[in-house]
Every structure is written in C-alpha cells, then in structure tokens.
A and B are shown apart, each in its own frame.
Chain A
Amino acid sequence: MTQVRFCRFAASAIAALLVFAPLPARAQDKIIKIGALLPMSGPGSYFGAQDRQGIELALDEIKSGVAGYKFDVRYEDSSCAPLPATQAAKRLLDQYKPDVVIGEECSDATLAIMPLMEQAKVPLLNAGSSSIRITEPGNPWTFRIMPNEVMQGVDIATHAFQRLDARAAVLLYENTNAGIGNAKVFNETFTKLGGRILADIGFGRDINDFTAIATRVAAVGKIDVIPTYTLEGQGLKITQALALAGITKGGGGQAIQLGTIWLPFGFEQKAGKAALGYIRIVQFDPTDPRARVRRFIDTFKAKYKQDPTHLHAHAYDQIALIADTVNRGARDAQSIRDTLAATRTFSGVTGSVAFDRTNQNEKTDTIHYMETLPDLSWRALKWN
C-alpha cells in the first residue's frame, strides 16, 4: 500500500513538473543573449581583459533587467586573429545562439567574422576595430561605434599639419589591415595638405627589437611627427627605441609620436620618459564632466580599484547601447539590428552614437586627444 502511495506521489510529481516546466523556460526566454568575441590570448589579449571588466560593470547596472528582459553574456576567445576568431564565432553561433554579438577588437578578426554574422542574421556591434572595410561599402548586420581609420586618420593628419606645423612624417605600423589602413589614410591626408612622408615602414607582430628600425628612422633626416600604429607591447618598444636613438622628444629629439585608438591609458607609465610628448587619440576622456561619465568612473573605481581606460569605456558602451535598443522595443536579433540601425541619439561614456547608412557611428565626439607630460601624466587636448 505504501509503495502504491509512493508511486502515485511520484507520478503526480513528475506530471506536475511536466506541466510547470515550460514556465521557467518562458521566463528564460526573456533573456537577451549577448555573445562576446574578445581576444583573451595572444598579443591583443589586453583588449579582452579590459573589455570584459567594462562589460561586467555594465551588466551589474542592468542586472534587474531592462523592459522585462535580462542579459546574459557568453565569452569566446577570438585571439585578435582571423582563424581563431571564425572558429570562436562558429562556436558561439552554433551553441549559444546569441541575439547580438559584440567584438572583435582587431580589424582582421572582425573582418573574418562579419560574413558569419551576416549569414546567421545576428547583429555584430563593434567598438574597437578601425579598418574602413568593416563599414564600407556597408553591411546590414555590422555596426561600429568607434571612429573608423578614415575619421581618425584625416583628423589626426589635419591636426598634425595645422596645429603642430608638421611637414615631415615617418609612418610606423604593423602589417595588418588596421595598421596598413591607418597609415594609408594619414599618408593621403598629410601629403594632400602639403606634408612629406619620409619613410613608410611596416613590420610584423613578431618583431621584438626595434633598434634597427629606429636606426633607419634616424637616418631619414628631420622628422616632425611619427604616426605609429601598433598594439601596446610593440608600441612600448618602439617608443623606447625611438627615444634611445634621440629621435623623439622623450629622447631629446624634436619628433612627436602620434597615435590613434590602439593604446590603453597607463601606456606612458610603462614607456617611461620615452613617451614624453606622445599625442594620441583615445576613445574616452576621463575629464569629461557629463554625469554619466562621472558615475561610470566612480562605479568602475569602486568595483575594480583602478581607473578605467578607453577599452573599459567602449565595452561598457556596447552593453549600454544594446540595453538601450531593448528599452526601445528590440527583442531578438532582427529587431536589435533594426533598432541599432535607427539609433540617432544614444549618449554613452565614450561619446554619442548615430549610425549612418553604412552603420558607422558618424559622431566624432568619441575622438579625444591626449598628450603625455614630463611627469608621465597626460593632459586632454581640446582639439575637437
């Protein structure tokens, strides 16, 4: 008898489970799944480490949900390179089935994953790749909030010519889509304005000792500016080698190194006095007085006990923008894409976002200039 009762109880329990099981499943359906393709290994892994902190902070702030939707993120290591990026993207699309994907940081990797996202009809929100090919001629599923290489290159070349009176430049860049593209735009703009490119030097990511390159640069004559496009590690070594060769201000020379959005804050402390006078674009101005920026900095410091960099900031903005689309009614991949495309007035901590017909953010208030001072602190240059 006891056994019969137990069997009835068990059968009832199973039936109840079957009946009510869909309820939690429906609750889970109200989740926006965000795939994050970030470089977490290899020379670009400092991007991934900092992006992740920015993402986690943004998630903390929306953990109670937006318009009834919660957010879940799955990270995959895309390694800043095409092959691992495509493998990670396939894994993410097949297994996680995200509503939207953020990443990659490196242009080569982003270019490699774009066709997969288009095929899967999942929007890709990019914040850190500069190659013009990402948004030209336009891809309905790829959006970029950072200024592309043309926007940055034209801006910095024009400022170099007009504000710094630079007339002679040497280009140093890694041989990647982003490196070559950035250098090309600077070259075209600078020469059009009347400047001269004395040397155009591309190199692989496996170069460690930049003394030979510095020797070559030193031999080309008087240089005003040296636009440099590399990841942080090589950037450190180049800056130190140029200073040791007496070329740049940090080594007692006259040339000023210029850079676009590649290097994080803290670069100057690592490079030491060699970085003196370095002028570069960053995507985030920590002196920005807007309440949103002040709050971001305060909460970031409280959570991580460190100052945020532009990498933290743009990753934070990616999640904030996705949350904004959900707040505007987006519910799935297609509607997130459509809502992103209609974005005109989003204001993030890096600046504002309004996508043009190619899904490139057309706002340039995300371009902030900073200059390294003798005490290795920096000052914001109000050039824009």
Chain B
Amino acid sequence: MTVILQQGVNGVVLGSLYVLVALGLTLVYGVLVQINFAHADIVTLGAFSAYFLMHGLSGGAGGGYAAGIVVALVVGGVLGWVMNAAVFAPLRGRRSELLPLIATIGVSVTLENAMLALFGPIPYAFDSPFSGDVIRFGGTYITVQSALIIAVSVMTIGLLYAFLRFTFLGKALRAVAQNRDAAALMGIDPDRQVMLTFVIASALAGMAGAMLGPVLVLTPFAGTSVIVKAFAIVIIGGFGNIDGTILAGLLVGLIESYTTQYLGPGMIDIVVFALLLTMLAVRPTGLIAEKREENV
C-alpha cells in the first residue's frame, strides 16, 4: 500500500513538472496555432540562468534560489520577446504557416549549440537549497524541491487563469485566440497580443527551467529530454487547451510512476505513446475537446 501511495506522490510530482513545461507550449498553440520547438531550449536556458545566478550569489552554497527563479523568468520573457520580434513576427507577415514552424526548429538548434559552446557538454550539478530536504508522512516521502514544484505549478496555473479570465490583457489575448480579425476590429492590436503570448509562454518556460534544474540532468540538452513528453501531453490534453494540458500532465506523470513500478521503466515510452496514438485514433480532439473559443 505504501508503495502505491509513494508512486502516486511521485506521479503527481512528475506530472506537475510536465505541466510546468507544457503550459507555455499550449498557450502559444492556443493563440497562434503554432508549435514552438524552441520551447525546450528556453527551459534549459532558464535552468542555466538560475544555476549561474545562484553560483554567482553564493558560490554554489545553494543561496539565491528564489532570485534564480525570478531571473530565469525574466530571461525567458526577454528571449521570447526577442525571438518573436526578430524571427517569428516577420515570418508570420509572409502568411505562411510552415515558415514560423521551421524557424522554431532553427531557433532551437541555434540556442542548443550556443549553450553547448557557452556552458560545455559536461553535466552540471544543480542542487537547490531544498534538493536534499525530505518531508516524510507515514511511509511515504517527498523532497521539499518536489513539493515546491507542485506548489509553483498550482500557483502558476491559478495566476494564468486569473490573468486570462479577469484582466483586460488576458481577455484581449483570448479574443485574438478566438478570432484575430474580429479582435482587431474591436481595437485590439493582434500583433501586440501575439508578442505578449510569446513573452508569457517563454517566461513560464524559463521559470520551469529554474524549477526543473535540480531535477533534470543539467546539460545544454536538458530541455529536449522533457519536451517530447510535453508535446505528447499537449496532444493528449487537447491542443491549446489549458485544462486538458493539466489533466494530461498529471495522467502521464502517474502512468510513468506506476509503469515503472509494475512493468519497468523501459516500458514507459511504449505506454505513454500508445496512449497518445489511442487518443489520436479514438478522440483526436484530446481529453478535453478542442473548441477554439474556449481554449486559452
């Protein structure tokens, strides 16, 4: 029984981790109907930003983690703004769906190799001040870092919901997601909203990197290892649907944990991607049916 409970806790932690990464992906898709392959590299850059800030502040003693998270968020946001202004916005102007998609791959490869040149290939040991602290209850345990990941995921989801539902900017962003031309006629600048989407999604990715850094094997390829699962989650959840993404993230996390326990970790990808294929065949709209007006 303890093992079942423990794997449940592990699954929720893993699911929260995936949700943090997938939120930005689903936000960009919800507004732009565009897949951003560079998202993984923003996650990685966020992790490195937090790592280097922590080491700069405390010489590796583990201080400055909160500041690291904030810096990762800012770095991600700025990078999102630069990417959109320099690459994606000009390409969108050419009225091609394919060009921005290919450009995200180009940006991804460029960022990955730039990080490889800057930070080198050797794995970094990114230990937050909470990596080694454990909370035990009954026979189960959770690291403080993992609890923090869950807390930050919940908080981020709450803030994102509040922003989208109750603020003028959030409503404007949803309007652009539903009908770009109609939103423009209502006096909303769609390009500005698209920029805002990229900034928010990339800031979320940067912050996710700072949260995941102590969990991931931190190398320039760190984000790549989770992004495939994040894409799967976005598809299973219903492309562009935030509720679906959260549900699918937790589901995949739990599936991974219980597969590890009862079938073996070598079976994880088979089970997760079999679920993905089943969803595509049986319910291609995802767990929560895609309705453009309800997305984002």
**B217 → chain A closest CB, angstroms:** 3
Interface residue from A40, A202, A240, A245 paired with B121 (Cβ < 8 Å): A40
Q: Does B281 contact A (CB under 8 A)?
A: no
**B20 → chain A closest CB, angstroms:** 13
Binds A, one of B75-83, B163-171, B221-229: B221-229
Contact: B123 with A206, CB < 8 Å? no
**Which secondary structure characterizes the binding site on chain A?**
helix
Instruction: Kindly report which residue of chain A lies nearest to residue B11, judged by CB atoms.
Output: A212
In the assembled complex, which residues on chain B have CB atoms less than 8 Å from the CB atom of A212? 7, 10-11, 14, 256-257, 260-261, 265
**A191 → chain B closest CB, angstroms:** 19
CA distance A95 to B142 in the complex (A): 54
Q: Does B211 contact A (CB under 8 A)?
A: no
Range for the number of chain A residues in contact with chain B? 35 or more
Q: Does B153 contact A (CB under 8 A)?
A: no
How many positions in chain B have a CB within 8 Å of any CB in the partner chain? 43
Known: A42-B221, A204-B266, A233-B217. A215 touches B261 (CB 8 A): yes
Interface residue from A49, A206, A219, A272 paired with B127 (Cβ < 8 Å): A272
Q: Does B125 contact A (CB under 8 A)?
A: yes
**B247 → chain A closest CB, angstroms:** 20
Q: Does A151 contact B (CB under 8 A)?
A: no
Q: Which positions 135-188 of chain B face chain A at CB distance < 8 Å?
A: 141, 143, 146
Q: Does A43 contact B (CB under 8 A)?
A: yes
In the assembled complex, which residues on chain B have CB atoms less than 8 Å from the CB atom of A42? 121, 221
Q: Which positions 259-273 of chain B face chain A at CB distance < 8 Å?
A: 260-261, 264-266, 268-269
In the assembled complex, which residues on chain A have CB atoms less than 8 Å from the CB atom of B268? 203-204, 207
Q: Does B3 contact A (CB under 8 A)?
A: yes
Q: Does B207 contact A (CB under 8 A)?
A: no
Q: Does B285 contact A (CB under 8 A)?
A: no
Interface residue from B3, B11, B265 paired with A203 (Cβ < 8 Å): B265
Instruction: Kindly report which residue of chain B lies nearest to residue A207, judged by CB atoms.
Output: B265
In the assembled complex, which residues on chain B have CB atoms less than 8 Å from the CB atom of A213? 260, 265
In the assembled complex, which residues on chain B have CB atoms less than 8 Å from the CB atom of A364? none
CA distance A216 to B7 in the complex (A): 9
Q: Does B131 contact A (CB under 8 A)?
A: yes
Q: Which 3 A-B pairs have the closest CB atoms?
A: A45-B121, A233-B217, A270-B125
Give residues in B with beta carbon < 8 Å to A: 3, 6-7, 10-11, 13-14, 17, 113, 116, 120-125, 127, 131-132, 134, 141, 143, 146, 212, 215-219, 221, 225-226, 228-229, 256-257, 260-261, 264-266, 268-269
Further 18 A-B residue pairs, CB within 8 A, beyond A209-B17, A212-B257, A244-B132: A42-B221, A45-B121, A49-B120, A50-B122, A175-B266, A201-B264, A202-B264, A206-B228, A208-B216, A209-B14, A212-B7, A212-B14, A212-B256, A215-B3, A269-B125, A270-B125, A271-B125, A272-B125
